[in-house]
Amino acid sequence: MDIKFIRTNPDLAKEILIRRHEKISLDEILAIDEKRRQLIQVRDQTRMEHRQLTEEIAKIMKSRQVSNEYNQANIDSIIIECKTLGQKVKDIETELAQIELDLENKTKYLPNVAHESVPDEDTVVASWGAKPDFSFKPMAHWDVGEALQILDFKAASKLAGSRFVLYKGLGAQLERALINFCLDTHVKKNGYTEINPPVLNLEDCFYNTGALPNLADEMYKCTQDPFYLIPTAEVPLVNLHRNEGFNEDDLPKYYTAYTPCFRREAGSYGKDVRGMIRIHQFDKVELVKITVQENSYDEQEKMRKDIEELMQMLNLPYQVKLLSASEMAFQSAKTYDIEVWAAGCEAWLEVSSISNCESFQARRANIRVRRKTGELEYVHILNGSGLAFPRIYVAILENYQQKDGTVIIPEVLRPYMNGQVKIG
């Protein structure tokens, strides 16, 4: 929702905010914008006058070299007038800069417009697989993992404190197998291009994706250098083409990246403290697509299918939730969450969030496409996790656990673990 849209459709814009439970005053924004536009007009007018005088001086200076018909006083008076105008322009620019900063500070908190298919309540729209039956009481993953000595929370806390995990032996191999399985599937089967990006990114990148300003407290910031640690590979993938233009034929672009992700989890003290459901550093394979606007919702469905297929290949029961307007991330127009069933915790855990951000991020990152008609427009950008591993790991340990304490390895992962069939 940019300022032009608000200016032309103020009532519609207000409704949109109400749907998303946002309490930002658009009237204030509109008033600032009005003032801004007035100032721009005055500034440009003054600048024009200034320029004309400058040109006149240039002419005089030139002809003076040939003849001496202009006297010094004459020129001096024009120069003084010119100086005055120049100062006036500077004053206006100072005032304008303040107003534009003000406007930016207000508009950067405006969320994306929710798509018309987005409901007012979270809605489960699909589910797959059956919750496993056990002849015994299934254990939580932290018990399974520690008993098998593949997870070591104590060692992790020695190194980094709470909310970290350390994988060991076959446990570390399992994590690596998950990463490779997902990447390989996206690259070989679904046509995504693999990227291995920096995980320290500059502040602008975070603003462009929508992570800043809202999630500032969620991220780790470097004190000596202007970096943040990425909370998701969405940040580098979306910014890969920052300030670039595409031809229509270049699109769509499909990208995938494995990266560690870092989150402070501020404000969730005491929530999910045990185990690895909510940790400060975790591995994730991310998907990002860049498309022309009319294809983005089809592409979102395709992305959802790509991710669901991973779940099915891993044989993990899941449900798909269509998020309500008020639950979605700030930058998203439509989001599906995929939740895996974890038998030990007896909970649905979010393992993927598939968002169509439409042109929200493209506007901030300035990524456009030249259409065949010659027109320039913003691209649509989508992202989805495929997948976030700790919770997949949790589901595997809890759903695949056996009475004797061993854990069967999902079939698709065995080739990545030297054919190993089970752990323990």
Peptide bond before residue 213 is cis, with ω within 30 degrees of 0: yes
How open is the CA angle 196-181-171, to the nearest 5 degrees? 95
Size, binding site for RNA by CB under 7 A: 22
Give CB contacts under 8 A, 24+ apart, made by 41-47. Answer: 42/92, 43/89, 43/92, 43/93, 43/96, 46/85, 46/88, 46/89, 46/92, 47/89
Q: Are strands 227-229 and 318-322 parallel, antiparallel or unpaired?
A: unpaired
Nearest to 174 by CA among 421, 416, 424, 419: 416
How open is the CA angle 307-309-310, to the nearest 5 degrees? 70
- Does 53 engage in binding with RNA (CB under 7 A)? yes
Residue from the set 15, 44, 248, 301 that interacts with RNA by CB under 7 A? 44
Q: Which of residues 236-265 bind RNA (CB under 7 A)?
A: none
Axis crossing angle, helix 10-19 with helix 26-64, rounded to the nearest 10: 130
Q: How far is the CB of 103 from RNA (least distance, A)?
A: 10
Residues 6+ positions from 388 with CB-CB distance below 8 Å: 261, 282, 284, 350, 351, 352
- Does 51 engage in binding with RNA (CB under 7 A)? yes
The residue among 7 and 115 lying less far from RNA, judged by its C-beta, is 7
Q: How far is the CB of 34 from RNA (least distance, A)?
A: 9
- Does 45 engage in binding with RNA (CB under 7 A)? yes
Q: Which of residues 67-86 bind RNA (CB under 7 A)?
A: 79, 82-83, 86
Residue type, 394: V
Q: How far is the CB of 417 from RNA (least distance, A)?
A: 27
The residue among 23 and 372 lying less far from RNA, judged by its C-beta, is 372
φ/ψ (deg, to 5) at 341: -85, 130
Pick the stretch among 47-55, 302-310, 325-333, 339-347 that binds RNA (CB under 7 A).
47-55
H-helix or E-strand spanning residue 393:
helix 389-399
Residue from the set 37, 108, 131, 189 that interacts with RNA by CB under 7 A? 37
Residue from the set 40, 147, 251, 313 that interacts with RNA by CB under 7 A? 40
Site string for RNA, 299-338 (x = CB under 7 A): ----------------------------------------
Pick the stretch among 39-47, 178-186, 339-347, 394-402 that binds RNA (CB under 7 A).
39-47
The residue among 19 and 88 lying less far from RNA, judged by its C-beta, is 88
Interface with RNA (CB under 7 A): 3-4, 37, 40-41, 44-45, 47-48, 50-51, 53-54, 57-58, 61-62, 79, 82-83, 86, 376
